[in-house]
Structure 1
């Protein structure tokens, strides 16, 4: 029961509710439910926690696709949560056995628990296929005073510190050590790290005048539409930008119905609009090159066409392509048959150079993948422009959850983010996470915004891969070492002298 309640409470920390302190409550209850468990009961309790969280958190999947994908994805993540909970159960059992001292348990145990929680999260983030890093604990803090810490240690590091603090409080209470004020030091120090360290400062480098257009066209997968209906909706919503002083016009993912690289009439429309607005365009469409189809963002300049391309690095399994289609078609042929297009992962950098200004890119769900964001920052991005199409998830939590990820990326990299959707939620976000400009959801409109540019690389971008490596593999290595030490210690303590007392020992 405690673990089931914990999952529901943890979900409330994320948008649309967004009560971020409840993340600590959910984590705390889930850990308390695992203390003292055996392996199999820990697996069961962890799965109950995972199911109660994921079935609520990703309910938006049912908007068009029904319950089968919802149960399939939530069920897979539930299994991973359960298996990862076994590691936490073993940590609670082994560390006190190997290191029975009070301070080892007040300091070492919370750090190990936090590391194993993060390792479980990192595994879910990367497997199977490209993983599903949608519900990372650190992302729940996008509008909290703790988000700034992501600029130093990344989202994985923030997850680690949140769990470490929660586990430290639990250990302090369990040990009944409140009579000695010193024993509160691990929890207090971790809390100080969470609250007192300021965001890493990046350097202002000017501004860019961005026109971001939310066409609100019929861009959903199942929307009925005439030819070029989405393109025409984008053009109509862009009309207020004509005659304005604009550095670049941004359209969302799927803002064009046809491939402008192959369709001359579509290319002519983009050329004409770029000439009228007197600015380059950043647009997106499905493109075909050779035998491959890509989800492609293009830097389009009048009379020159697409001068730079970026293809989505992580197409969504079961959404934009079907891995092992032969297998899954046997399980759900009607559902898999709906996914006709097979996108190929892109390999070109998520970065455009616009007159010397680096523009970092992430197409839709690529915003949740660290490597895409970090590559752009290391490549010289001074601002990010995220293009997405949330039309299939209108009136659900999905678009608000994705907006939270965009906000966290702004804070993590110290860069402004223009997060633009076909139907909303579209916002311009400052490097500190504050909203600069916004459009109402489900309405056509255009933002014309002076977007701050920044240079300088945050520590999260530099050390983020190493933080993930050491928290993930280091925690697993530490648990294995504890297991070996506990086994050796157990063998030693079970040896007793024989009655003859000749120094020979026997195993009980």
Structure 2
């Protein structure tokens, strides 16, 4: 017998829409992080008892309400087509992954109808499937877009410390588990005996843990004096500019700190709007700048090797050697930095596709370099949203992270603040300081505990000189993050499949 839906479809659809809209308020700029504890229960209630096709419909409505608002920044310059396409894709994937959650609510009560099954096993499976959905969106298609993860909403909340133990996927799991367990506890009705109340212990323990657990400690390793420059040059795709205008803006904004005692000078992604490995004049300017600040430079530029282009971070030192170390962005943005299957997609939006002339090649190097005897982890722009980049940098011995970005195409939107939230969570997750530096803002130096140490206002040129704390030692999240993600993501899919087999067997035996 099919379980009865908690909400009729006519009510489930607006409930799912409300869940998506409420969840958007947990992201910057509002950052109302407790909203997740309203949004997640609403989203789950709309799926309980649903058949597959109605679950798809409910899931799509939830995803559309979330992503059409959350990703509105993509329409800032390119118009509605990219925004509608990306938001619809993310909503469609959310819809597909709503079906496994609905199936969990159908099958688990059949094989584990008791108190422990309802308040422990079922919420754990539902939470794992929610993480599976986040993992799917972060991997498919074309490398995925892991943007609207629950853990990111907690960047400035007491729950953020949990990421240092179990990573971003682990925090998402615990949030959903606590919400799903609370729903099942309420659905069971009055608790008449002490044994009933004890069933709630795991859920209460999970909720208490994510509220009070301290950050996993890392070891103090001194400081690095970093000069970070936000030139506020015309770095956007449609900004009116002449050759080298961004480079000149960076040089101008650097002058006030050229007399400072620096260990390293950091510029953002695309801070040099020419390839310094091919331009002798730009290389001479960088050599001179490194001589004036008496420190190595970490700069961002597009580099060409043969027929391939790379979005690169370069370590530049005096002496005419050129870049002594290079990291190339691992995750170029599809339809932003390259066009996958160009011939196919050009049929639908030739004008937009033809705007993207260069095809950036993904880098393969470890995202870490050595500067002044300090290992620095790197991420370029949207690299920061991918777990593997930060994890590999930490495991390579990074004592600090430098995230170089260019938000100029999203001026006047919340994109820069949403990306900054990722940077803040990464600082806490890895137990490392982060310098998140943009061409136009928002730029901040973030301490290992997530506190803001220094900042530059958005939309203004400026420079900051900061003694940035260094740390050594790996947090548990950096050690077990990958296998834990696999366990939560793939493990929950396998567990759902096993539950389906057992539920069908019990149904046959009952007949």
TM-score range, shorter chain: over 0.9
**1:428-474 CA deviation, whole Å, 9 max, x = no partner?**
00000000000000000000000000000011010000111000111
Q: How does 1:142-161 map to 2 (within 5 A)?
A: 142-161=155-174
Partner of 1:211: 227
Task: Give the Cα separation in 2 of the matches to 1:375 and 1:185.
Answer: 36
Secondary structure in 2 matching 1:314: coil
**1:119-160 CA deviation, whole Å, 9 max, x = no partner?**
111011001111000111111100000000000000000000
Partner of 2:487: 470
The yes-or-no answer on 1:170 pairing with 2:183 is yes
Range moving further from structure 2, 460-469 or 484-493: 484-493
Kindly name which structure, 1 or 2, has the bigger radius of gyration based on alpha carbons: 1
Task: Give the Cα separation in 2 of the matches to 1:291 and 1:145.
Answer: 48
The yes-or-no answer on 1:436 pairing with 2:460 is no
Partner of 2:88: 75
For 1:122, which of 132, 135, 141 is the aligned residue?
135
Task: Give the Cα separation in 1 of the matches to 2:265 and 2:305.
Answer: 25
Task: Give the Cα separation in 2 of the matches to 1:99 and 1:298.
Answer: 56
Task: Give the Cα separation in 1 of the matches to 2:348 and 2:299.
Answer: 37
Which consecutive segments of 4 or more residues in structure 1 shift more than 4 A? none
The yes-or-no answer on 1:291 pairing with 2:304 is no
**How far off its partner does 1:355 sit?**
2.9
Partner of 1:93: 106
Partner of 1:277: 293
Task: Give the Cα separation in 2 of the matches to 1:466 and 1:349.
Answer: 19
Secondary structure in 1 matching 2:184: helix
Partner of 1:358: 375
Partner of 2:8: none
Secondary structure in 1 matching 2:47: coil
Task: Give the Cα separation in 1 of the matches to 2:81 and 2:426.
Answer: 31
Task: Give the Cα separation in 1 of the matches to 2:36 and 2:26.
Answer: 5
Partner of 1:64: 77
Partner of 1:504: none
The yes-or-no answer on 1:422 pairing with 2:414 is no
> CA-atom RMSD, angstroms?
0.8
**How far off its partner does 1:253 sit?**
0.3
Task: Give the Cα separation in 2 of the matches to 1:178 and 1:355.
Answer: 62
**How far off its partner does 1:182 sit?**
2.4
Secondary structure in 2 matching 1:126: coil
CA contact (8 A) 2:311 2:360 kept: yes
**How far off its partner does 1:196 sit?**
2.3
Secondary structure in 1 matching 2:347: helix
Partner of 2:27: 14
Secondary structure in 1 matching 2:236: coil
Partner of 1:312: 329
Task: Give the Cα separation in 1 of the matches to 2:156 and 2:307.
Answer: 43
Task: Give the Cα separation in 2 of the matches to 1:173 and 1:284.
Answer: 53
Task: Give the Cα separation in 2 of the matches to 1:175 and 1:240.
Answer: 66
**How far off its partner does 1:493 sit?**
1.4
Task: Give the Cα separation in 2 of the matches to 1:72 and 1:449.
Answer: 41
**How far off its partner does 1:185 sit?**
1.7
Structure 2: gaps (5+ residues): 1-13
Partner of 1:50: 63
Partner of 1:27: 40
**How far off its partner does 1:101 sit?**
1.1
Partner of 1:187: 203
CA contact (8 A) 1:359 1:384 kept: yes
For 1:483, which of 471, 486, 500 is the aligned residue?
500
CA contact (8 A) 1:178 1:184 kept: no
The yes-or-no answer on 1:41 pairing with 2:54 is yes
CA contact (8 A) 2:431 2:475 kept: yes
Partner of 1:251: 267
For 1:103, which of 101, 109, 116 is the aligned residue?
116
Task: Give the Cα separation in 2 of the matches to 1:335 and 1:446.
Answer: 35
Length, aligned pairs only:
494
**How far off its partner does 1:24 sit?**
1.6
The yes-or-no answer on 1:344 pairing with 2:361 is yes
CA contact (8 A) 1:315 1:344 kept: yes
Task: Give the Cα separation in 1 of the matches to 2:190 and 2:423.
Answer: 41
**How far off its partner does 1:300 sit?**
0.3
Secondary structure in 2 matching 1:53: helix
Secondary structure in 2 matching 1:381: coil
Task: Give the Cα separation in 2 of the matches to 1:260 and 1:103.
Answer: 63
Secondary structure in 2 matching 1:294: strand
**How far off its partner does 1:179 sit?**
4.2
CA contact (8 A) 2:435 2:444 kept: yes
Task: Give the Cα separation in 2 of the matches to 1:229 and 1:390.
Answer: 16
Task: Give the Cα separation in 2 of the matches to 1:268 and 1:481.
Answer: 64
CA contact (8 A) 1:296 1:310 kept: yes
CA contact (8 A) 1:177 1:183 kept: no
For 1:201, which of 187, 208, 217 is the aligned residue?
217
Secondary structure in 1 matching 2:449: coil
Q: How does 1:323-334 map to 2 (within 5 A)?
A: 323-334=340-351
Structure 1: gaps (5+ residues): 495-508
Task: Give the Cα separation in 2 of the matches to 1:349 and 1:266.
Answer: 26
**How far off its partner does 1:228 sit?**
0.8
**How far off its partner does 1:184 sit?**
2.8
Partner of 2:4: none
Task: Give the Cα separation in 1 of the matches to 2:90 and 2:229.
Answer: 36
